[in-house]
Amino acid sequence: MQVNFSVNGRMESVDVEPRCTLADALREDLGLTGTHLGCEHGVCGACTIMVDGQPTRACLMFAVQADGCSITTVEGLQNDDGKLHALQQSFCDRHGLQCGFCTPGMLMTAMDLLHREVEPSRERIREEMSGNICRCTGYVGIVDAVEEAARTLNSADPTD
Amino acid sequence: MKAASFDYVRPESVAGAVRCLVDAEGDGKIIAGGQSLAPVLAMRLARPRILVDVNRIPGLGALRRDGDSLRIGAMVRHHDLLEQRHSPLLAEAARWIGHAAIRSRGTTGGSIAHADPSAELPVVAAALDATIHAVGPDGGRSIPAVDLFEGALETSLDENEMIVEIEMPIPTAWGFAELSRRHGDFGLVTVVAAEVEGSWRVCIGGLAAVPFRARECEWVLDCGPAGEDRIRQAARAAAAAIETSSDLHATADYRRAMAEEFTRRAIEQAVAATRAGAH
């Protein structure tokens, strides 16, 4: 089936079987391999992306269901000048990743949280990130990174 | 972990969706939020020939207050339940469902139709004696929640029927208590205590194949003012009536003990809110 949607601001068209998940369409058909697939049944959170502004598990949605939707993946996070987004930078600075497998999902989930809450407490960050599993770094660095990103974003000059 | 092949249809009306189910001759499956169905398909525990996507049917996403009840369209997402202000009990229950990325897709109708014994919304529906409005080839019918849940993942819905709306009274007092090992996990024990039209409703999920209405507990509470002793007695009555078994997650004794404690907490929460409201 022919499916049209926008990904990170670009209109894309893919021809997929109905059983193809949105995650597979992004990875296999569009080459956007930043979205990682861990468990493929909605438990690990690695494939979290934004669909029409809402955090979504890309393994629990079929690509055909995303027809007409606006999608943001981890590849869409970096600034227009190619620099890392403040959230990505703070993951680097605060050792929020080790092997990096869970990181795309962590970033997208944290983005959603920071869209909704400008200054989440550590407890809130832990609560909101609890649907994303990390098997190597542990969570302290990740919570530090999200906390720091919130601070950076809050102190950023809006006219910049 | 890839679903088997299926055909995909996206009807634009309820009648159209029912027609798709009839045409599928028992081999069709409705997909709403897909948060339970997609894993089932990925693990090939189900292999429907036709997937009927009801996401684009207009009108199913409406949520409105109708006197003392809330009418919730089948496609109202958990996220919307969490945000609405009409029924604080439903908002609290929705907060306990999975994570933000699950709540943004998962739907009320889907959760009720899936009838997972450890899911939150079936417990709320059974506690409040919700009415489930469904449409099939012969028209619509209204099913009381107690008659809908027949077993684990089993409902009395016909294979050609779909849920269109769920009607729940808005309780005057309520309490919600859940025990789960990690935030966002399915509940080991989920308890809803609510007062509707002056009588108590207590329902416990996670113990058996269907939500368990603790009638003895309700009866104890209805007999007089809910002081500390009566609440304890009511919680004991609930635990005494429970039939549950041990599994991977918890032993039967642990479940029963936790059911008693969490029933007590849910009732206390409801009673405390009533007291606070009275001042």
Residues A72, A12 share a domain: yes
Q: Compute the count of residue pairs across chains A and B with CB atoms less than 8 Å apart.
A: 90
Q: Which amino acid is at A88?
A: Q
- B25: distance to nearest CA of chain A, Å? 20
CA distance B199 to chain A (A): 35
A128 contacts in B (CB within 8 Å)? 99-100
Is residue A159's pLDDT more than 70? Answer: no
Is A71 found in the same domain as A133?
Answer: no
Interface test with A, best of B75, B104, B183, B186 (most A CBs within 10 A): B104
Q: What pLDDT, in 10s, does the model give residues B231-245?
A: 999 999 999 999 888
Question: Residues of B near A (CB-CB distance < 8 A)?
Answer: 1-8, 10, 31, 34-35, 38-39, 41-43, 51, 53, 55, 79, 98-102, 104-105, 182-184
CB contact under 8 A, A131 and B99: yes
Label residues A84-107 b or e (16+ Cβ within 10 Å = b): ebbbbebbeebebbeeebbbbbbb
In a shared domain, residues A10 and A71: yes
Whether residues A13 and A62 fall in one domain: yes
A105 inside domain: yes
Q: What angle do CA A87, A90, A91 make, to 5 degrees?
A: 90
pLDDT in tens, A108-118: 999 999 999 99
Q: Which of B218, B175, B177, B176 is nearest to B198 (CA)?
A: B218
Q: What is the pLDDT of residues B140-171, one digit of tens each?
A: 999 999 999 999 999 999 999 999 999 999 99
User: Is position A50 within any domain?
Assistant: yes
- Over the stretch A95-110, which tens digit does the pLDDT of each residue have? 999 999 999 999 999 9
Q: Give pTM, 2 decimals.
A: 0.95
Residue where a domain stops, chosen among A54, A76, A98: A76
* CA B179, B185, B191, B197 torsion-angle sign: positive
Is residue A81, in this structure, part of any structural domain at all? Answer: no
Three state DSSP letters for A42-68: CCCCCCEEEECCEEEEHHHCEHHHHCC
pLDDT at A82 over 60: yes
Candidates A24, A62, A109; nearest CB to B101: A109
The predicted pLDDT at position A155 comes to 92
Of A27, A52, A76, the position where a domain reaches its end is A76
Lowest-confidence pick of B178-192, B221-235, B252-266: B178-192
When CB atoms are compared, the residue of B4, B34, B183 closest to A61 is B34
- Is the per-residue pLDDT at B270 higher than 60? yes
Question: Is residue A9 a part of any domain in this protein?
Answer: yes
Q: Which residue of A has its CA nearest to B7?
A: A18
The verdict on domain B174-277 having CATH code 3.30.390.50 is: yes
The DSSP 8-state label assigned to residue B73 in this structure reads E
Residue ranges, CATH 3.30.390.50, chain B = 174-277
Rounded alpha-carbon distances, angstroms, from residue A103 to A107, A129, B183, B238: 6, 11, 20, 45
CA–CA min distance A159, chain B (Å): 31
Q: Does B39 sit within 8 Å of A42, measured CB to CB?
A: yes
Query: H helices of B61-210, where?
Result: 78-83, 88-95, 100-103, 108-114, 120-127, 145-148
Residue A158's pLDDT is 66
Residues of chain B with CATH 3.30.43.10: 7-53
Taking CB atoms and an 8 Å limit, are B183 and A127 in contact across chains? yes
What's the CA dihedral at B224, B230, B236, B242 to 10 degrees?
A: 30
**Last-in-domain residue among A76, A94, A124:** A76
First-to-last alpha carbon distance for chain A, in angstroms, is 43
Closest-CA residue to A120 (of A109, A131, A134): A109
Residue B276 has pLDDT above 90, yes or no: no
User: What integer pLDDT is reported at residue A157 of this predicted model?
Assistant: 66
CATH of domain B7-53: 3.30.43.10
Same domain, A69 and A128: no
> Do the domain assignments include residue A104?
yes
Q: Where in chain B is the domain with CATH 3.30.465.10?
A: 63-167
Average confidence score pLDDT of chain B: 95
Q: Does any domain span residue A125?
A: yes
Are residues A114 and A63 both part of a single domain? no
- Tell me how far apart the alpha carbons of residues B148 and B166 are, in angstroms, rounded to a whole number: 12
Q: Is the pLDDT of residue A160 over 70?
A: no
* pLDDT at position A6 over 70: yes
Residues of B whose CB is below 8 A from A57: 35, 101-102, 105
Q: Are residues A97 and A61 in the same domain?
A: no
Record: contact A54-B79, CB cut-off 8 A: yes
Range of the domain at A101: 86-155
CATH assignment of the domain containing A47: 3.10.20.30
Is A120 domain-assigned? yes
Q: Is A97 part of any domain?
A: yes
Which of A2, A17, A19, A115 is the best residue to mutate to test the B interface, defined by the most B CB atoms within 10 Å of its own CB? A19
Q: Read off the pLDDT of each residue in B217-224 and give the average, rounded to a whole number.
A: 97
* pLDDT band for position B278 (cuts 50, 70, 90): low
pLDDT of residue B205 exceeding 60, the answer is: yes
Judge if A12 and A58 occupy the same domain: yes
Same structural domain, A92 and A141: yes
We report the CATH number of the domain holding residue A100 as 1.10.150.120
Which CATH number is correct for B63-167, 3.90.1560.10, 1.10.10.10, 3.30.465.10, 3.40.50.1820?
Answer: 3.30.465.10
Mean pLDDT, chain A, as a whole number? 96
Average pLDDT over residues A7-20: 98
Q: Show which of residues 9-48 on chain A sit within 8 Å of chain B, judged by CB atoms.
A: 17-19, 21, 24, 39-42, 45, 48
Mean pLDDT for B32-37 is 97
User: Mean pLDDT, to the nearest integer, of B74-89?
Assistant: 97
The alpha carbon dihedral of B74, B77, B82, B84 has a sign of negative
Total domains in chain A come to: 2
